[in-house]
Structure 1
Amino acid sequence: MSAALLIEQLLNGLQLGVMLFLIAAGLTLIFGVMGLINLAHGSLYMIGAFACAAVAAATGSFWLGLAASLAAAAAAGALMEVAIIRRLYERDHLDQVLATFALILILSEGTRWLFGSFPLYLDIPPLLQGAVPLPGGGQYQLYRLAIIGVGIVVAVGLYLLISRTRLGMRIRAGESDREMIAALGVDIRTLYTVVFALGAALAGLAGAMVGALQSVQVGMGEPALILAFVVIVIGGIGSIKGALVGAILVGVVDTMGRFLLPKLLALTMPVSQANLVGAALASMLIYIVMALILALRPRGLFAGQA
């Protein structure tokens, strides 16, 4: 196993972790501030991907498509919050699960009606095409490195937003005591809509960037949503720091598990059998890690921290 191949897989895990962070950050904000279980968050990821693909195909510009993904996902999130989610805050979690699951079905069928059942494809912008050299003689795709860079910038921006701005102060206060912040004159409904739109925009951004690496299709948000829930359970609900650490942990463990386990098992069994067993074990690995962390830290690694 070469050093270049190992570094490449580590970078793949980091890139996956950054994508999961963009989805999980919005999800943990929404759950932490509003106490809302939003199963439809993955649909906002899908909306961002479709908006980017459609606008890029119409204009020939990936960057306009990226802007469209942010706008479309944020608008869809705000509309969803005002029309439906707002009525669920005082309901129990079962009602929230049922209502947001219904939203998944509605948004999936609406997207299929607008764009059809066939997948769309996004081209990597010319500025980010090509590869950069890795230690040991390998190369790594420049676009994937750009995704990692965007994720780091967003993480820093979110941390500064939450910890250093008036809006962040209101978000943290709303998480701690929504009745008190409403009594102090803050428009809690507007605050909730802003938080929901912000979380939706982050999910849309993730969908747009991933769309250039895989096909854009209906239902693409649900697998990402499952991993995002694992991330926020590991990191701690309501914590941006926890979402970042949990996402990187999940991304690296999942990627390295799929890469290393079949190779290790091949030392003791036939290669074909090792590949099957290794793939099965790798798919379980992040859930084993989650169970171990919850056994030691039942509220997650950074529960109660910004």
Structure 2
Amino acid sequence: MAMPDRPVIMLSAGEASGDLHGGTLCRALRALEPTVNLVGMGGPRMAAAGMEILADPTHHAVVGLTEAVGRVPALYGAYRALLRRIRAQRPDALVLIDFPEFNMRLGRAASRAGVRVVYFVPPQVWAWRPWRARRIARFATRVLTVLPFEREVYEAVDAPVEYTGHPLLDVLPLDMTRDHARERLGLDPAVSVIGLLPGSRRKEIARLLPAMLEAAKKLAAGDPRRRFLLGAAATVNAPEMATALTVARETGGPRIDIVEGLTHELMAAADVLMIASGRNG
């Protein structure tokens, strides 16, 4: 437990993208206040930034109801662990990072316990289920949006909102040139490079990767000199993905090399990208 005079901030992130943003936020908070006690739910990036991890669901990200139902027991256990700590320690603030189905419930409970709640990277209410904005406004002390037009959406329901800018701008190598990125990846500057980014969730990858591999086969037929690279998220089982690529090659597909931990460099190096939908990196 933290000493009474140390600020305590709990954070809650449930996916790889949230862990990325949470890790950046943890480092920023510690730079502002070196004695801060960070605790909560997150993944390896938040742990590396000095947060005490009470639960880590980020390696088992899901898409769709079927996979989500299978995770209910683990997520319920994580919820209970966080709620116990909230009631026992009364953190100075709870920071929610995306993951709305879980975090909205946690935020309501924390607010009822008298804890200030900050929602960082709130759900895309402008795209679907807009009623969530009003629900968030009822329990959030502050909503920090990452897209400029989101501010107006939350202002319309009287939420205390600020536009912060997208956190990826703090981690993307914006000054990296195409040639520099290719040098880091060991790519010939003259070849055509096509990147595949099928996502970070197992079901998402299972749905999108076959279509991407089929597209890669057709693109390779048009120009055999093209290079294909696949960016693997931290949540991905790389050996399992490598097996899928081997099978695809045995059935006439091109060689596709897996790139781990260098997704942003891959994006800078590629001439064409096939990307799973999403906003959080």
Identify the TM-score tier after normalising by the shorter chain.
Answer: under 0.3
Q: Which has the higher contact order (CA 8 A, sep 6+)?
A: 1
TM-score, normalised with respect to structure 2: 0.26
Structure with more of its chain in helix, by fraction: 1
Structure with more of its chain in strand, by fraction: 2
TM-score, normalised with respect to structure 1: 0.25
